[in-house]
Amino acid sequence: MQNTNLKNYAKIAFKAGDVVYSVNDVSDSVYLVHNGTVQIESKQGMVLGVLGDGELFGEVGLITAAPRTVTVRAKTNAILIKLEEKVFRAKMAQADPICNAIIRGLALRISDANALAEKYWRELGIYKSIDNG
Q: What is the pLDDT of residue 28?
A: 93
For position 13, what pLDDT does the model report? 98
- Compute the distance between CA of residue 96 and CA of residue 29 in angstroms, rounded to an integer: 21
Please give the Cα distance from 95 to 105 (Å, whole number).
15
What whole-number distance in Å separates Cα of residue 12 and Cα of residue 129? 41
- Residue 132 has a pLDDT of 62
Q: Which domains does the chain have, with CATH numbers?
A: 6-132 (2.60.120.10)
- How high is the pLDDT of residue 71? 95
pLDDT at 41: 92
37-55 pLDDT, tens digit per residue, is: 999 998 888 888 999 999 9
The segments of the chain whose pLDDT lies below 70 read 1-6, 100, 125-133
Edge-to-edge strand ranges of the sheet holding 78-84: 11-14, 78-84, 29-35, 56-57
